[in-house]
Amino acid sequence: MKRTGFLYDERYLLHDTGSYHPEMPARLEAILSGIRESGLLARLVRIEAREADLKWIETVHESTYINRLKEACRAGVTTFGHPDNQMCGKTFDIALLAVGGILETLRLLMTGKIDNAFCAVRPPGHHAEKGEAMGFCYFNNVAIAARYLQADWGIDRVAIIDIDVHHGNGTQNIFEDDPSVLYYSFHEHPSFSFPGTGRSFETGRADGAGFTVNRPILPGQGDAEYLRLTETDLVPAMERFRPQVVIVSTGFDAHADDLMADIQLSTNGYSALMEKIVDAANRLANGRLISVLEGGYALSRLPELASNHVSVLLDERTEPVTGAKTGMTGGSEITN
């Protein structure tokens, strides 16, 4: 069994997006419920969220953007840049906690205290560009994580695998001229095609040409197309790149029951996809992988999707569970 870390903090629930917003606190409550009720929580290493130093945010985002977001939150503004980006006075601080928790997770990974991890954080991040919030995202969590690995741990090659059903325009925007980061994205196109980027001809530029790989998938293609591309395209791309650490932008919104998309990926399809990514990371990156939550809005499906996801990281399988209880008990804890 792997030593799998689990980053979760009740303070992530304080990012208030309003009564009807799909990126709601109940998403994390459903994820925690599924992991706990499946009996997996006690097998995980709990990780304490910490506020990120602004210097790490500045490795990715423009200082003027960071200041605008901070001032907007302090002023009680409830939308930022676009009506989709609902927030509250605590959003800036919670976004720092999300990044800080991920960086703490990476520290534990790089010091050998955990083998891999699932980071159940919010706000999500992959749509956030250098100077713009988009698609419920304010700080690009996975991009900052990659820069942290490079700056603090001397990592030369980071692979970011984006399985959210929407294209991670922010992550691509940040790394498209950088050959040290492989960005590979599965996403639906053309239906439900927010944000409208991620065409197959978008492959990076300048020194980063060839290190951005977009694989748009037509509606309704489901498991067969995802697994075909994983075996024939994603894994070979990882083998050529030979990442030292793998970061997965994990969106559960490609599921057949998620109203945000129409890909029709099944519960078992999600597990099979993650198994192949984990197997590749085991072979190529000494197993060093963290999964960071992005989208996923079908509250009835998130418990089983999250528990199955964690079971793959643990290298064991359990039956899917459902439930809606909250609270966190069990497991060991690393806080330093």
In this structure, the number of other CB atoms found within 10 A of the CB of residue 75 comes to: 8
Helix (H, G, I), strand (E, B) or coil at 129: strand
Tell me which residues are annotated as active site: 127
Neighbours of 156 (CB within 10 A): 12
Question: How far is 58 from 46, CA to CA, in rounded Å?
Answer: 27
Alpha-carbon dihedral of residues 145, 151, 156, 162, nearest 10 degrees? 10
Please answer whether residues 187 and 234 qualify as being in contact, where contact means their C-beta atoms are separated by less than 8 angstroms. no
Question: Nearest 10 degrees: CA dihedral of 141, 142, 143, 144?
Answer: 50
Q: What is the DSSP string of 156-219?
A: --EEEEE-SSS--HHHHHHHTT-TTEEEEEEEE-STT-TT----TT----GGGTTSEEEEEE-T
Cβ-based burial of 174 (10 A; exposed 0-12, middle 13-18, buried ≥19) = buried
Q: Token pair for residue 311? A: 């079971």
